[in-house]
Amino acid sequence: MSHILNDLYIAAGVVFLFGAAIFVHEFGHFWVALKRGLVVEEFAIGFGPKIFSWKRHGVEYSLRWIPAGGFVKLPQMITSTAIEGASNQEKASAAAPDSDKILAADANERESKKEEAPIPPASALSKILVAVAGPTMNVIFAFALATVIYIVGLPVAVNPPFIGYVDPKTPEGKMGIHEGDRIVAIDGKPVKSWDEISHTTILALTNVFQVTIVRGGSSNVYALMAEPSTVVGMGVKTLNLAPKDHLVVGQTMKGSAAAAANLKADDEIVSFAGATVSSREELTKLIQACGGKKTPLVIQREHKRLALEVTPAWDSSAKMYLLGVIYGQGRDFYEIEHPTPWAQVRDVWEQLYGTITALIHSHDSGVKASDLSGPVGIASMLAVWVNTDYRLALHFLVLLNINLAILNMLPIPVLDGGHVVMAILERIRRRPLEVRLMEYTTTVFAVLLISFMLYVTFFDIRRIPLIHGLFNRKTQIEQPADPATQPAP
């Protein structure tokens, strides 16, 4: 029952937070359009067929099945019928000759018709203000969320870049890199976590890095090559080094050597045969070296270390000795920090700028359009953060809103930036652009946008098993100590 309630909580959180980002964007368009005296026909959240709708003061409000955005239908601004459908004025034009336009007073009572009054054109300034209002609201919302995070604190992953098991036969092993070494910089830029290492290598416009590694009191710089990841649905490049991880038991097989040794779920394997274990590969090699002999095994169970003995069993199908363990996900450790709102937004901007640069220089970086996330990927990651901690979900929403604001201002027809460009051209020409041309251009780009969303969604679906694994990771958030409870120096 608790599992079902947790799933409902996650689903409700994703719908509310994702919908909030869309709502504030569309509300910006809606509010400024009303203030500038424009005619508003519809305010919609989502695309496609309607789930339900209602009308108030001549404006139709609707919720639609495809939760990939929303729109405000403004007949005085050129929009896309591919996404929003035809306006009431266009429907009336299609139903009657231009000389005798007729508007139904009520959609359910076709009998009562009256002649439609022409809608006056909106000024170029009004169009620009309405277009810019949506992204502006996203930026304001992002700063508001960042302020909340600054007050309540942000959990930051504590994942020091200590290197795990290194196979001596690999190029890295032959260079002299060992388990326990720590990466402190890449290409001269300091790094404090594996997350920073991954981000740096993925977006870099090269696959060769000068990596500074510290062992004891000395440091060395190695020229290491990054290779494409073998993870399903991901083609980004990573260093051929694994983090020093905690090997946690997820489940022991019935009748296995692990069950006989009294291993239990959530036990953390510390050492095997006297050797510290930091990865599955290392443990596998140690098991094969010991064969079927009774071997000492040290585990950590609920903050206590226990010494056990285990006798690995030969598996004829796998042709190797096994413990009979299904490994679980590790534990993520977080500490609370209080980054300023400006620092949070600046970090988001740097991530977005780096991603766009890597995408433009795809040949050098290896980042492709298929590595981007669409609505499915965004909703999935939002679900992970809702399940982990609400503050991480709010932080992800800051990133989402800044992304929406910047991407919507690209000068592409059907996006807000495209409306701004067309309004500026209209102002320069001192007369409206050709309606047919604008409608055709906007619809073409709308179809291209929808096609691109379907393309990235295909790869989002392939990555779902990878994202699903994040749900099983346990988290431990360390709250900062209260200074009042600390002893005086």
Same domain, 293 and 391: no
> In the prediction, which pLDDT does 332 show?
66
For residue 188 the two structure tokens come to 């001269």
422-471 tens-digit pLDDT: 889 888 888 877 778 888 888 888 888 888 888 888 888 877 766 665 56
Whether 363 is covered by a domain: the verdict is no
For residues 292 and 273, what is the distance between their CA atoms, to the nearest angstrom? Answer: 12
* pTM reported for the whole predicted model: 0.73
Residue tagged 């990939």 (tokens):
68
Same domain, 106 and 193: no
21-77 tens-digit pLDDT: 999 999 999 999 999 999 999 999 888 888 989 999 889 999 988 777 788 988 887
C-alpha torsion 132→134→136→140, nearest 10? 170
Could you say which of 294, 329, 364 is where a domain stops?
A: 329
Same domain, 71 and 91: yes
Mean pLDDT in residue range 302-327: 85
For residues 110 and 197, what is the distance between their CA atoms, to the nearest angstrom? Answer: 65
Same domain, 17 and 96: yes
Examine the pLDDT at 480 and tell me if it is beyond 60.
no
Residue 431 sits in which domain range?
2-150+377-476
Examine the pLDDT at 211 and tell me if it is beyond 90.
yes
Examine the pLDDT at 163 and tell me if it is beyond 90.
no
Number of domains in the chain: 3
Same domain, 408 and 430: yes
Examine the pLDDT at 207 and tell me if it is beyond 90.
no
Mean pLDDT in residue range 300-318: 85
Whether 350 is covered by a domain: the verdict is no
Examine the pLDDT at 118 and tell me if it is beyond 80.
no
Same domain, 236 and 261: no
For residue 302 the two structure tokens come to 């609920």
pLDDT band at 338 (very low <50, low <70, confident <90, very high): very high
Lowest mean pLDDT among 86-100, 216-230, 345-359: 86-100
Examine the pLDDT at 110 and tell me if it is beyond 50.
no
Could you say which of 271, 305, 329 is where a domain stops?
A: 329
Same domain, 66 and 175: no
For residues 374 and 396, what is the distance between their CA atoms, to the nearest angstrom? Answer: 15
Whether 488 is covered by a domain: the verdict is no
Could you say which of 220, 242, 264 is where a domain stops?
A: 242
Examine the pLDDT at 349 and tell me if it is beyond 80.
yes
> In the prediction, which pLDDT does 138 show?
96
Query: For the domain that residue 204 is a member of, what is the CATH number?
Result: 2.30.42.10
Examine the pLDDT at 79 and tell me if it is beyond 50.
yes
CA-wise closest residue to 309 among 296, 327, 324: 296
Whether 470 is covered by a domain: the verdict is yes
Mean pLDDT in residue range 183-204: 87
pLDDT band at 285 (very low <50, low <70, confident <90, very high): confident
> In the prediction, which pLDDT does 137 show?
96
Same domain, 317 and 383: no
Same domain, 142 and 164: no
Whether 366 is covered by a domain: the verdict is no
> In the prediction, which pLDDT does 147 show?
96
Whether 398 is covered by a domain: the verdict is yes
Mean pLDDT of the chain: 81
> In the prediction, which pLDDT does 112 show?
41
Same domain, 293 and 221: no
Whether 401 is covered by a domain: the verdict is yes
Mean pLDDT in residue range 122-136: 92
Same domain, 127 and 30: yes
Residues 6 or more apart whose CB falls under 8 angstroms from that of 112 comprise 104, 105, 106
More confident residue, 270 or 117: 270
Residue tagged 């942000």 (tokens):
154
b/e for 262-285, b at 16 or more Cβ within 10 A? Answer: ebeeebbbbbbbeeebbbbebbbe
> In the prediction, which pLDDT does 341 show?
95
CA-wise closest residue to 445 among 64, 79, 129: 79
> In the prediction, which pLDDT does 363 show?
80
Whether 459 is covered by a domain: the verdict is yes
> In the prediction, which pLDDT does 169 show?
86
* Length of the chain in terms of residues written: 489
> In the prediction, which pLDDT does 150 show?
96
Q: How many percent of the chain have pLDDT more than 90?
A: 24
Which residues partner with 315 through β-bridges?
A: 320
More confident residue, 274 or 466: 274
Give Rg (Cα) of the chain.
29
Q: How many percent of the chain have pLDDT more than 70?
A: 83
Same domain, 259 and 237: no
> In the prediction, which pLDDT does 131 show?
93
CA-wise closest residue to 463 among 404, 348, 376: 376
